A and B are shown apart, each in its own frame.
Chain A
């Protein structure tokens, strides 16, 4: 069951670098193992957030107030590119992030967000740059609002931007649906497909 997402007004942190990859979001040596969930938030953006001696890097935005409590990220192009590691989403979620607003995302990361109740919003780069500038001008005091029902992002000064979203994804997030249970309700269709496919493409199906 994914966490539902409806509406959020919160502090937003602009991370405007291009190509922030999933290795940067969560390093492999922090996410390896079957019992890491719940312990990842501390290591999100580890290479940016901490200095080599392990202390916090005061220059990194999420180490500064009020951004430290951000629940929204405003991101540069191609955020979440790279590996399929869902731990990238888990790490962000565990540090409190519920929505990520950017001009484009890595395809697999984008899909992984929805699986965990994190809303990725795509808006034009010019809009993103404007949001980031407005937030920075207010030194983080200006909060963003994200409304999934209305499909809008509202800037601190009240400018509303409508975003597109796949209706199925939207419904899934609003209701926090469990995809496995939903698909298993169609198991008769899956089995019917497999039965006819065994005749059409027998080389695909090993004796099972």
Chain B
């Protein structure tokens, strides 16, 4: 008999078990299924070809984000992007699934609109055919990415078969130093545990730095869970969460709201809950982070130096670093600051929310993008865009020389005509610096929105702490 307390994961998980499939594998109810243009219509067409109806269209929501250009009028969208959008429209309409279409309120990056619309709720089980679905864990949801076959299974059954993951708790304690953001915290963690450090785990983020963090920062933290290998990342919902969710279009209201909040208050790990792994991070020791290589684990403080393979004894690690340095066009042992950049991309499901754009605008205000640098700001959703325009953030960016774009995934995955040209170097607020991720032979450095603006202004990787006001 297990006498330990229960983890947040266990509490949410157990509420969704329809049946035990085997010892550690359950058939789980899916509360929200989010579809996007890259894989949504394929799943619906799969079902259609098998004559299987969508089990719960009212729990399924769709938006185009990946495959559409973020240029004005969506110009530059590749032919396949338009075809995928047309198919998403036809197939969601045929199955009575709500679509948040381009130029409509509600459209945006699927992991931005879920929380924003109140579709993503604490305690909710959310899946989407996208690995960054872990983002929604920032609200205390159990959210994870799935493949195309699983996606079709969810459409057909409103369930998913999952093996219960191991649990890891990451405790971020302390106050965020000047110039340090949620993005820096999670990048530092990935550097600490490695890109496979969370594989097989659901990660719960805790500690005073998380408790003090607004929801948008928590979404950024959970977003990068998959970059440390964890399919799921989550944060216990608290008063900050409830205040964020309250009044959103799809959030419960009135008496239903009170019932929901009462239930959500129980969603926290018990004080005697035991985790399979614990990691503690002293937030006070973190400085602004930037990646140097081709995995998010290739990260260092902005005052650091690129590794020198000659210093590394293990041949596999040395080889990996050599390959990464070669791809990135960096000199072993060189300081990362001062590396010239060609592009800056502010956007993606990691860092395209209003608070991200405010932080970026704060650095951009009254400054100019360096000659020879192209810099984009891509708001995460129609709502973010409208709110940012209402505050005049778009003017600040445009006056500084940034391009102000339409909402979408854009250059994060370059599936939409938005690409970094071959050989060019970008500082990006997105989540992946993989080989070819932002375009064939494009070189990506991941950083926070403020650090991205600092690079745009300096024309080189720069320490934002020397620029902030």
Contacts and interface: CB of A to CB of B under 8 A. Distances in A.
Interface of A: 16-19, 21, 23-24, 27-29, 32-34, 47, 52, 76-78, 81-87, 89, 104-108, 111-112, 115-116, 166-168, 179-180, 183-184, 186-187, 189-190, 193-194, 197, 201-208
Given A86-B149, A190-B29, A194-B56, 18 more contacts: A21-B432, A52-B441, A81-B195, A83-B145, A84-B131, A89-B147, A106-B229, A108-B146, A166-B25, A180-B156, A183-B159, A186-B19, A190-B157, A190-B159, A203-B256, A204-B31, A205-B59, A207-B58
Given A24-B436, A167-B22, A111 B196 contact: no
B27 to A, nearest CB: 7
Nearest to B83: A33
B263 interface: yes
B18 A189 contact: yes
A33 B80 contact: yes
A179 B29 contact: no
Most chain B CB within 10 A, of A23, A201, A208, is at A201
Contacts of B165: 107
A79 to B, nearest CB: 10
Most chain A CB within 10 A, of B131, B152, B257, B295, is at B131
Nearest to B317: A18
Contacts of A81: 195-196, 199, 229, 295
B38 A27 contact: no
Contacts of B221: none
A84 B59 contact: no
B130 A83 contact: yes
B38 A32 contact: yes
Contacts of B84: 32-34
Contact of A19 (B27, B123, B195, B200): B195
Nearest to B413: A28
Contacts of B259: 202-203
Contacts of A180: 50, 52, 152-153, 156-157
28 contacts: A17-B320, A19-B196, A19-B295, A23-B432, A23-B434, A23-B436, A24-B435, A28-B413, A32-B67, A32-B78, A34-B87, A81-B229, A82-B131, A83-B432, A85-B147, A86-B147, A115-B147, A167-B22, A179-B161, A180-B152, A180-B156, A183-B156, A190-B157, A203-B259, A205-B59, A206-B58, A206-B250, A208-B57
Contacts of A168: 21-22, 25
A87 B441 CA distance: 21
A107 B294 CA distance: 19
Given A34-B42, A34-B84, A168-B25, A104 B440 contact: no
Most chain B CB within 10 A, of A24, A76, A77, A85, is at A85
Nearest to A24: B435
A78 B27 contact: no
Contact of B149 (A16, A112, A204): A112
Nearest to A206: B58
Given A82-B434, A186-B19, A206 B59 contact: yes
B415 interface: yes
Given A28-B413, A77-B196, A82-B434, A204 B124 contact: yes
9 closest cross-chain pairs (CB), A and B: A115-B149, A208-B58, A203-B252, A86-B147, A112-B147, A78-B196, A86-B148, A84-B145, A23-B434
Contacts of A186: 18-19, 27
Interface string B381-401: 000000000000000000000
A16 B31 CA distance: 39
Contacts, number: 192
B284 to A, nearest CB: 30
Contacts of A207: 58
B300 interface: no
Contacts of A28: 413-415
A201 B441 CA distance: 49
B347 interface: no
A202 B121 CA distance: 12
B41 interface: yes
Contacts of B56: 194, 208
A127 B188 CA distance: 31
Contacts of A27: 436, 440
A84 B260 contact: no
A84 B436 CA distance: 17
Contact of B146 (A24, A84, A205): A84
B268 interface: no
B440 A47 contact: yes
Contacts of B57: 208
A82 B432 contact: yes
B425 to A, nearest CB: 17
B437 interface: yes
Contacts of B199: 78, 81, 104-107
B163 interface: yes
Nearest to B232: A107
A107 B231 contact: yes
A179 B155 CA distance: 13
A115 B321 CA distance: 33
Contacts of A89: 147
A41 B147 CA distance: 18
Nearest to A81: B195
A139 to B, nearest CB: 20
Contacts of A205: 58-59
A189 B161 CA distance: 14
Nearest to A33: B80
B136 to A, nearest CB: 14
Nearest to B23: A167
Interface in B204-259: 226, 229-231, 250-252, 256-257, 259
B214 to A, nearest CB: 23
Contacts of B414: 28-29
